[in-house]
Amino acid sequence: MNASVAEVEDLIQSVTWPEQKAPRIQSILRQISEARNGVLELEFLADLPVEEARAWLEKLPGVGPKTSAAVLNFSRLRKPALPVDCHHHRVAVRTGLIPKSVAVGPSHIVLQAQLPPEWDAQAVYDNHEVLMLHGQRCCYFNNPACHRCAIWDLCPEGQKRWQPKGEVHGDIHHAPL
Ligand code: SF4
């Protein structure tokens, strides 16, 4: 919070747009400290319901639903908040979990509402990881690998894009028609 912006920028060089993120992180830290009477901590969020904790975080500049959910779920707060990144979102659209018209931001509420309410933070985290990794490793933005997709038979978009032809050998998925 009190370091020079250049120092912070240097420390976060490996992220995208460090020059924008460094001053923003410092500004957020100052605002948290001010809101908490000089104490730089977020432990109090553990006692709030997920939606209230997310709303508190999203009042901070530059904090949207993905960041608020990631802070609550990935940290030791371990709350069942679902982050949605672009890979997770793409898979959700293609598999029909959400319509194409629902953008990444609003998709957080819709996709979270589809999860069983009794799921704990780990289960919610796993759901995000599975969808994100599927998007990164199979359901690519360009040319998704529908021919080897484990959920092809459940995916309306995949069935439009690819259909098995004749006998297929090797480890290529034999999808039922
Ligand atoms: S079948 Fe194709 S479009 Fe559907 S989830 Fe799999 S890779 Fe993505």
pLDDT in tens, 40-59: 999 999 999 999 999 999 99
Average pLDDT over residues 104-114: 98
Residue range 116-152, pLDDT digits in tens: 999 999 999 999 999 999 999 999 999 999 999 999 9
The answer to whether residue 114 is domain-embedded is yes
Q: Which residues line ligand 1 (CB under 6 A)?
A: 91, 94-95, 138-139, 144-146, 149, 151-152, 155, 157-158, 161
Q: How far is the CA of 82 from the centre of ligand 1 (A)?
A: 21
Of 125, 121, 82, the closest CA to residue 104 belongs to: 82
- What whole-number distance in Å separates Cα of residue 55 and Cα of residue 65? 9
Report which protein residue has its CA nearest ligand 1's atom 8.
139
> pTM value?
0.87
Number of domains comprising the chain:
1
Q: How many other C-beta atoms can be found within 10 angstroms of the C-beta atom of residue 176?
A: 6
Contact (CB, 8 A) for 47 and 8: no
Expressed as residue numbers, the domain containing 144 is 78-161
Residue range 94-108, pLDDT digits in tens: 999 999 999 999 999
**Which atom of ligand 1 lies nearest, measured to the CA of 90?**
8
Q: How far is the CA of 105 from the centre of ligand 1 (A)?
A: 22
Degrees, nearest 5: CA angle 17-23-26: 125
134: tokens are: 């599927």
The answer to whether residue 4 is domain-embedded is no
**Which atom of ligand 1 lies nearest, measured to the CA of 157?**
3
- What whole-number distance in Å separates Cα of residue 120 and Cα of residue 78? 9
109: CATH: 1.10.1670.10
The answer to whether residue 11 is domain-embedded is no
The answer to whether residue 22 is domain-embedded is no
Q: Given its phi and psi angles, is residue 82 left (phi above 0), alpha (psi -120 to 50 degrees) or beta?
A: beta
- What whole-number distance in Å separates Cα of residue 146 and Cα of residue 161? 7
Report which protein residue has its CA nearest ligand 1's atom 3.
158
